[in-house]
Chains A and B, each alone.
Chain A
Amino acid sequence: MELDAAQNPNPDPPISAYYQTRAEHHAVVSSDWLAHAAAAAASFPDAGAGADAAPPPSPGSNGGGVIEEFNFWRRKPEAAEAVAAIMALAAVIRSSRATTMMELEIELKKASDKLKSWDATSISLSAACDLFMRFVTRTSHLEHEKFDAAKSRLIERGEKFGEISLKARKTIAMLSQDFISDGCTMLVHGYSRVVLEILKLAASNRKLFRVLCTEGRPDRTGLRMSNELAALGIPVKVLIDSAVAYSMDEVDMVFVGADGVVESGGIINMMGTYQIALVANSMNKPVYVAAESYKFARLYPLDQKDMTPAHRPIDFGVPIPAGVEVETSARDYTPPQYLTLLLTDLGVLTPSVVSDELIQLYL
């Protein structure tokens, strides 16, 4: 499906585009499909390039350029939205025609704002854009050099950041292997590609473990996840969301991903994560969050309602009678006291480290 380049694909604002996109991605593309597509593309290089509609390098029309670049990266279903944004911004620097640092920074800021406005509810997108800006413009030598040298340094840093982000999942998967031992049972919630990567690597290392997968209504993420896991040969059991407490006894650890990691060390993730974390905490089971470092956001929610709302329509299968309200929020906030560790590409961290990292980067 071709999405309109410069516009939010979902014309109805209250519905979060972020979740819409994910649903589209996951409904259409799974990894086997991707493998086939990649194989196909390899034998037809021209068709691959043509089908992808390579972005025209037009430095003048910056706004259009960045969104197109963004879409180009985003179409790869393995790439997270945030990573696509980072690569797009790196491309902006590369193709920029500015002659002073100030101009370049203004261009970057404009491009970043445009990307953020593409989906206002996506936390990782805005966090990644902000982090990219800070990471790239924070070099101290910039004031003393000529512009070209500074620009090339910025390009270097931008691409390095992009590379780190692309490889983030692999780094996290490697770091997490120590937490999975033979014979353990883990509970996963939501379709997180990072968690999937971790489990894939563990399976390929011939570890024997079992996964319990929550159904993940209304996105049916659990079914997708179990599909993938079964394809890897991992024994999977699907639970309905209400059966989490019932099955928590047999679980050794909980693995979740995150849409965003906030400054207090808590996470914002798919609806249901908070519940699972509460149950796990009360039964003394560790909760591990696998999140890339570009998801660290400068937000600080005090309670569930303190975030920008992101709604997702729920299909109950039968029409809802009039006068009945439905809670359609798509995500919740898990406070840091219920999380044991954060597995990130910066290392295995405790929740209180998030703020330290952000302070060092931002201030």
Chain B
Amino acid sequence: MDLRRPPRSTSGGVEPKIRQVGFVTPDVSAPTEPAAVGAAPAPQSGTAVGSPTASDLAPGSLSPVMIPPPLHADHLSPDSPSPAASDAILASSAPQPSSMRFDAASELGEDDSRSLAPSAGELEANKGDLAGDSASIPQKQKTSKAERRAIQEAQRAAKAAAKEAGLSGKSTGAASGANPAISKQAKLAKTSQKKDVPHAASTVGSEKKISERLPERDRKKDAPHPRMQFDDVHRVEKAKKRAIVNQSEARNRVELFRHLPQYVHGTQLPDLESKFFQLEPIHPSVYKVGLQYLSGEVSGGNGRCIAMLLAFREAIKDYSTPPNKTLSRDLTAKISSYVSFFIECRPLSISMGNAIRFLKNRIAKLPLTLSESETKVSLQTDIERFINEKIVVADQVIVSHAITKVRDDDVLLTYGSSSVVEMILNYAHELGRKFRVIVVDSRPKLEGQGLLRRLVAKGINCTYTHINAVSYIMHEVTRVFLGASSILSNGTVYSRVGTASVAMVAHAFGIPVLVCCEAYKFHERVQLDSICANELGDPDVISKVPGRADLGHLKNWADNENLQLLNLMYDATPSDYVSMIITDYGMLPPTSVPVIVREYRKEHLWV
């Protein structure tokens, strides 16, 4: 194995991050073996092991994320004095039954009980009170590869401990960019920083992600970029530097969704508003759209995408190339900074992501012979063309296809508020078809109410109900029309939370479910559940019911450690429940989505 990049584990694979998932309360002192971590206890490492992983824990506080000690089973000298020494030290601390975590780690590597030593040493270092002094460091007498690795790890851990003690932490971050070793280091650092996390103001910034994206982009243009995982504290903190919106992490986060960002909502908007005149690098129209996202004024896939593109168009109009810079690179960097600002305001929707990719592609493909003003005009017309072709005209085509499926005496059910479905209903009404609409709505957003108002104003016969009653009302329904935020490659529909339930009930009743979605929202990603990628909304709105001040049972929910509130924004509907997808390319079965992505992404959009 070559040593340019020290391998993290002898198993050669990704080091497992073992953590307690599910709804674990953070302050339990004696953790019961979490079922999520499936490791059979390996007896031989049971003895002196009990302590290492628990040694970093102050008695009574269990960090929700436990890092298994690294697996460096093959590099210890047979008679190094350190194992015995560390064992002696650690055996004295209270044995915690976290042995199983270590067992899991050791199972993945070799079953060498000597793997205890470096891990023990490092974790000892991570106690936070030993700044820089690792008892396991005296392995310098042997220079085997594994020992060097152990030394490196120990040094990194020492640095991390030093950083936690208040030094500036930039050096560790600069060490390796996208190096996966960083995440391991972050995990090591995390154990010492665990106590600080609930209080630390860590922000979401994906500057790092964006800057990683650019070199990667040249290599793999078409692969979707990995999203930032927000449970990786090191990366989150690193990105904090460039963040514009100051956000404080919410307390009482649900364990299962730790990889998604969640912030305290009340403070963001006034903070951002107050910074208006100080944010010189952000163009005012971009700033305005960001504020609109944050406040929830602009919502919905199409609306957000159009607002963003128009803001970019304004920004491009006012753009002038700084001296000694090429327009395409500088403009791309500027757009990226705007995008990271938007992400801080509200995570990007998939439609926005696709539009950004299109824009960057157009910038990259600009012919070099054009002058700056010509380039700017060309980009602006590209943006306008995108909006027109992919959204406005596409919607009209979808409506013309969908209208063939609306017959007289139909009862159409829709969920939430989708712009395309509203257009279909309006058009059908204009054509004089006789039908009635059932609008199903759900808390906390209650988006259906707006749709209901607009439909009733047009004179359409409507029924309004809450999602609890969907199985009650489904027997009257003849067709279900749903909108989508995106459709993924395996035919899964990614849409507002609650859509999956409505589709499932409709399927159980044998009612056809028609999903209307423009083709620019399709994505190559495959998602099997609603957990790995989602958006978390403000949990406070769940605890309050507007108009019912007396229902204040959850008033101080944040103070209760046993209580976590979850406000998901999206969910994934499996393709089995979808009868047909109506796009601007026609009516397709859900299995044909990858064909459209394959055939028409390359040609039309990214040419």
Residues of A within 8 A of B (CB): 263-265, 298, 300, 302-303, 306, 336, 352, 355-356, 359-360, 362-363
Contacts and interface: CB of A to CB of B under 8 A. Distances in A.
Nearest to B596: A359
Contact of A264 (B479, B585, B589, B600): B589
A352 B591 contact: yes
Contacts of B580: 264, 300, 302
B592 A352 contact: yes
Contacts of A356: 592, 595
Contacts of A303: 512
Contacts of B548: none
Given A302-B579, A359-B588, 15 more contacts: A263-B587, A263-B589, A264-B580, A302-B514, A306-B405, A336-B589, A352-B589, A352-B591, A352-B592, A355-B589, A356-B595, A359-B585, A359-B592, A359-B596, A363-B599
B60 interface: no
15 contacts: A265-B589, A300-B580, A300-B587, A302-B405, A302-B479, A302-B512, A352-B592, A355-B589, A355-B591, A359-B585, A359-B586, A359-B592, A359-B595, A363-B585, A363-B600
Main secondary structure of the interface of B (DSSP, over half): mixed
Contacts of B587: 263, 300
Nearest to B510: A303
Interface string B505-541: 0000000101000000000000000000000000000
Given A264-B580, A302-B479, A360 B588 contact: no
Contacts of B479: 302
Contacts of A298: 586
Nearest to A359: B595
Contacts of A360: 595, 599
Interface string B571-593: 00000000110000111110110
Most buried by A among B579, B585, B595: B595
Interface residues on B, range: 10 to 19
B588 A355 contact: yes
A363 B586 contact: yes
Contacts of A300: 580, 587
B210 to A, nearest CB: 34
A126 to B, nearest CB: 15
A306 B406 CA distance: 10
Contacts of B595: 355-356, 359-360
A286 B586 CA distance: 30
A160 B568 CA distance: 56
Interface string B366-390: 0000000000000000000000000
A306 B512 CA distance: 11
Contacts of A355: 588-589, 591-592, 595
B415 to A, nearest CB: 18
A306 B587 CA distance: 14
Interface in B394-408: 405
A84 B596 CA distance: 33
Contacts of A264: 579-580, 589
A336 B587 CA distance: 15
A261 to B, nearest CB: 12
A275 to B, nearest CB: 16
A360 B514 CA distance: 23
A321 to B, nearest CB: 29
Nearest to B600: A363
Question: Which one of A265, A300, A360 has the highest number of Cβ atoms from chain B below 10 Å of its Cβ?
Answer: A300
Nearest to B590: A352
Nearest to B593: A355
Residue with the highest number of chain B CB atoms closer than 10 Å, among A298, A303, A306, A355: A355
A-B pairs with lowest CB-CB distance, top 6: A352-B591, A302-B512, A355-B592, A300-B587, A264-B589, A356-B595
Contacts of B512: 302-303
A306 B596 CA distance: 25
Contacts of B599: 359-360, 363
